[in-house]
Amino acid sequence: MLRADQVLTDSVEMLAYECDAYTIHKGRPDVVVHPESTEQCAAVVRLCARMGVPFTPRGTGTGLSGGATPLYGGVVISIMRMNRVLSISPADLRLRAQAGCINSTITRAVAPYGLHYAPDPSSQTACTVGGNVAENASGPHTLKYGVTANHVTALTLVLPDGSVVELGSDADEPCGYDLVGLLVGSEGTLGIVTEVTVRLTPNPREVRTLLAVFGSVDDASRAVSRIIAAGIVPCALEMMDSMIINALEDAFAMGFPRDAQALLLVELDGLGPGLDAETADVSDLCAEHNARSVTAAASEEERARLWFARKQGVGVLGRVAPNKVTQDGVIPRSLLPEVLARIRGIAESHSVRLCNIFHAGDGNLHPCVIFDERDADELRRVLVANEEILRLCVEVGGSITGEHGVGVEKRDAMPLMFSEADLAAMRRVKSAFDPAGLCNPGKIIPGPSAEAAPP
Amino acid sequence: MSASYAPAMAVLWPCVADRPPAEAVAPASRAEAAVEVARALRHGLGIVPVGAGTRLAEANLMRGVEWLAVDMTRMDRVLAYSPDDMTVVVEPGVTAEALQAVLAEAGQFAALGLASGRGETVGGLIAANAQGRRQCAFGLPRDQLLGFRAALSTGDEVRFGGCTVKNVAGYDMGKLYCGSHGTLGLITELTLRVRPLPSVRSTLSLAGPGLGDTLSAGMALHLARLLPTGLVATFGAGCALTVEFSGSHETVAWQLEQARRVSAGYGLQTEAAASVDPSPPAVPDPGVAWLRAATVPTAIEGLCRALEPCLSRAVAHIAAGLVEAEVTLAEPLNDLERRLFAAGCSHLRWTRLPQSERATRDAWRLPAAQLPLMRAVKGALDPAGAFGPGRFAGRI
Ligand SMILES: Cc1cc2nc3c(=O)[nH]c(=O)nc-3n(C[C@H](O)[C@H](O)[C@H](O)COP(=O)(O)OP(=O)(O)OC[C@H]3O[C@@H](n4cnc5c(N)ncnc54)[C@H](O)[C@@H]3O)c2cc1C
């Protein structure tokens, strides 16, 4: 079925598979396998089904909610080696790839056609498109171009009984129940995706990238609300606060003012005509909200540098403290100033170190708490503060997660958003795909099904 | 107690089932809707939600089932609208036109088709996942829905999704309900994303010399990397190519100029009167059928050629890869299906069939391998099998 080099059983080698980038929960796999084709993957799943062994799909393990953590042991099925682009049709704006294909590989493959793959998580040079499908991942440019769910038209799925089914088609329009739509964001609990057809996006003709420097987070968040309310749709609208600014300065000497309290990175794109006027409007709105300066990237290099800073902004915190938890709550965007202030209050009241680097334009917060997990009291305070922040997001009409998924991390927070009847319906959908409950057990849905998962 | 339905609806019943409903009700609130669903379940009745009725004929005919028609048009309120968040919460019976009027006051719109003048309800557009020519720019109704409530045959009212533009908490059930044609539950509330209204919308309509040139010009426009908010070729009495641009004055003017230049090479210089996308009538005409064939842009011309022998009129959404056509019954529909699939059709739906065909032909033509999963999903969300039994793909 598999060659020896596709199977890991050594406990040291398997350490890396005990969790994803959310390290608070861990689980020890009994075996890790690296299938190289849909058939191999299906054969492994069939074996698991026959033996009643739980299995957990895994991409490259960059997930931030413990989705790929084998909570109940069993087999970790890593899709990483299935990493090829299979076909490209530029005129139809379609590309088909194996699920283990790295996100940025897709964009590189279609660059010669002037196209790109729009969902651009900060982890795009490391994460897989299968992982993106599982988490419904998104990125800065989601604000204008949409999330993974808006860019996937077909999937090859290995069902939890080991059978293989093709869902969707090359066409935009789904047919019958939109099973592709259901699978996107299902966090590897309904089967293993082995191939994906994605929609490609033409590169914009013109791009303007602005960096606005603010002396207060409040001013920056009011500027964000005003830009959105003015009917301007930037392609990205990102905020970073002072702890991030200083961490970036320490690491890369970007040249950001260390005493700034917030940076807004605003990008506008389009065909050209009218773009400068729109950029000027954004600039004016920032100035009206007391921006200390607003500068436009003068060259492609400068633009790339700003985006480098944004995409390194979370990773760089590794230099500040050994551990971090990145939260992912979403709020109605008009409430940004108020909610950010309340989150600051929560952090202060529990004495936790918290910073913000997030997709301001769509209200997707990433309060990032840094800590040292060896300090039991700090860890406890971090978890309490985390929970309060989630409650706050839900209380103001938002969500506990905008892009990182529920996984194991937020599973027990699901009742904040959903009634028992809602969760029961989700459990029935899960059972429709996975009656034996072997596929990534213990994720997303709390309660009966999680408890009834295999020992 | 819910009021009864408008008698005019009676003409629609043959589109739904082989018999008139045992009863028809029109609840005015979520609470009343829940009462009606519970009552139907108690009496073992099938349940069919009805909006304006314009797309009831798209799903299969329900046979041998005593049923309750639930007219949703009295649940027509806009419940909460937050222009700054660009989200709106509505009852499903609000008409798209009424909703757009409310949104327009704040300079916004919901990407839910063009004004049709037929009183289509928002719930109906979501349940049919129906979009018009703006699909290429804004996606389908599935891409606008953020959250919803539904009354299920378990007796529960559930709520999925949320009210923010990003949210991945739990399964994305909304995707299943879009296009479900009322077969997974009674949608009682919807939260949608809205967008800023463009300052200008402008349409260029060109009369084409023939199918080939019109589609070639359309394809050239598709490849020209402009940002049309509609790109359709219409066939029937003549050929026309229509392209719509929206945005600021500058970008629209610039794109119109580019579009004229691109299309000029194909002999389409004459500016024609704006074409109207043909749309099928609520009650099917005898002697014709309507289909919706999905594909990719490069296969559009092949599909149109395959349709030619029996084509009476059609609209090809070039960038969205979709052909909607009215066809004569000059040849067996099986032959036409075969030709379409040979030409690269991914899947198709018969959106109007003559009564003679409805009993025997599934309105959905999709790969049979997907049906067991769809049946399982139906069983999970409509465990009592109460909502439009037999109406969906594969007579689910
Ligand atoms: C520094 C950093 C920055 C990040 N930035 C972003 C961001 O901007 N936006 C964002 O959305 N996310 C971000 N993430 C989170 C993460 O990168 C995404 O969730 C990504 O989609 C995970 O992909 P992966 O291949 O690493 O999947 P994994 O972590 O391996 O798995 C994630 C989940 O998907 C399932 N899964 C994986 N592959 C498959 C498959 N083939 N079939 C079925 N299920 C599968 C797993 O079981 C698990 O539940 C970031 C993470 C890091 C570490």
Nearest to B164 among A270, A330, A430 (CB): A330
State whether CATH 3.60.10.10 applies to domain A85-202: no
- CB A60 less than 6 A from any atom of ligand 1: yes
As its CATH architecture, domain B78-196 has 2-Layer Sandwich (3.30)
pLDDT score, position B1:
44
Supply the CATH classification number for the domain A321-406. 3.30.70.2740
Query: In the structure, what pLDDT confidence band is assigned to residue B4 with cuts at 50, 70 and 90?
Result: low
Distance to chain B for A191, nearest Cα, Å: 12
pLDDT given for residue B5 in this prediction: 54
pLDDT at site B2: 53
For the stretch B241-299, pLDDT in tens is 999 999 999 999 999 999 999 998 898 877 777 777 778 989 888 889 999 999 999 99
Q: Which residue has the higher pLDDT, B363 or A318?
A: B363
Domains in chain B: boundaries = 3-73, 78-196, 200-264, 288-369
* Confidence grade of residue B3 (pLDDT, cut at 50, 70, 90): low
Which of B176, B251, B292 is opposite residue A182, by nearest beta carbon? B176
Instruction: Select from 3.20.20.30, 3.30.930.10, 3.90.650.10, 3.30.70.3450 the CATH code of B200-264.
Output: 3.30.70.3450
Instruction: Say whether B168 and A179 touch across the interface (CB within 8 A).
Output: no
Q: Which residues of chain A, if any, have pLDDT below 50? A: 449-455
Nearest CA in chain A to B348: A175
B210 close contact with A: CB closer than 8 A: no
- Closest atom of ligand 1 to CA, residue A82: 41
Look at the block and give the residue holding tokens 């069919």: B48
Rounded to the nearest whole angstrom, what is the distance from the C-alpha of residue A226 to the centroid of ligand 1?
32
Nearest CA to ligand 1 atom 35: A188
Of the candidate CATH numbers 2.40.420.20, 3.30.70.2190, 2.30.110.10, 3.30.420.40, the domain formed by A204-313 belongs to 3.30.70.2190
Quick check: do B78-196 and B288-369 share a fold?
no
pLDDT computed for residue A447 by the predictor: 80
Overall fold of domain B3-73 = 3.30.43
Per residue in B114-124, pLDDT (tens digit) is 777 889 999 99
* Residue A444 DSSP code: S
CA of A61 to the centre of ligand 1 (A): 6
Mean pLDDT: which of A306-320, A348-362, B170-184, B195-209 is highest?
A: B170-184
pLDDT mean across residues, chain B: 94
Domain ranges, ordered by start, for chain A = 4-78, 85-202, 204-313, 321-406, 411-451
| A204-313 and A321-406 have identical folds | yes
Q: Do A414 and B162 touch (CB under 8 A)?
A: no
pTM here is 0.96
Q: Does B216 touch chain A (CB under 8 A)?
A: no
B7 to chain A, closest Cα gap in Å: 31
Q: How far is A3 from chain B (nearest CA, A)?
A: 31
Of all residues in chain B, the percent with pLDDT exceeding 70 is: 97
pLDDT per residue over B82-129, tens digit each?
Answer: 999 999 999 999 999 999 999 999 999 999 987 778 899 999 999 999
CB contact under 8 A, B179 and A166: no
CA distance A441 to chain B (A): 14
pLDDT of residue A207: 96
Per-residue pLDDT tens for B210-245?
A: 999 999 999 999 999 999 999 999 998 889 999 999
Q: How confident is the model at residue B9 (pLDDT cuts 50, 70, 90)?
A: confident
Q: Inter-chain contact A175–B349, Cβ cutoff 8 Å?
A: yes
Q: Which residues of B touch A406 (CB under 8 A)?
A: 168-170
pLDDT at A455: 37
Cβ(A47)–Cβ(A35) below 8 Å: no
Fold assignment, A4-78? 3.30.43
Mutate to test the interface with A, among B166, B222, B252, B256 (most CBs of A within 10 A): B166
According to the model, what pLDDT value does residue A454 have?
44
Length of chain A counted residue by residue: 455
Q: Does B134 touch chain A (CB under 8 A)?
A: no
Determine how many CB atoms are found less than 10 A away from the CB of residue A205.
15
The answer to whether ipTM exceeds 0.85 is: yes
Q: Looking at the CA of residue A99, tell me the nearest atom of ligand 1.
A: 41
Tell me the chain B residues in contact with residue A165 when contact means C-beta distances shorter than 8 Å.
Answer: 369-370, 373
What would the pLDDT profile of A102-132 be if each residue is shown by its tens digit?
999 999 999 999 999 999 999 999 999 999 9
CATH code for the domain defined by B288-369: 3.30.70.100
Round to whole Å and give the CA distance between B210 and B256. 22
pLDDT of residue A449: 46
Optimal mutation site among A152, A172, A419, interface B, most CBs of chain B within 10 A: A172
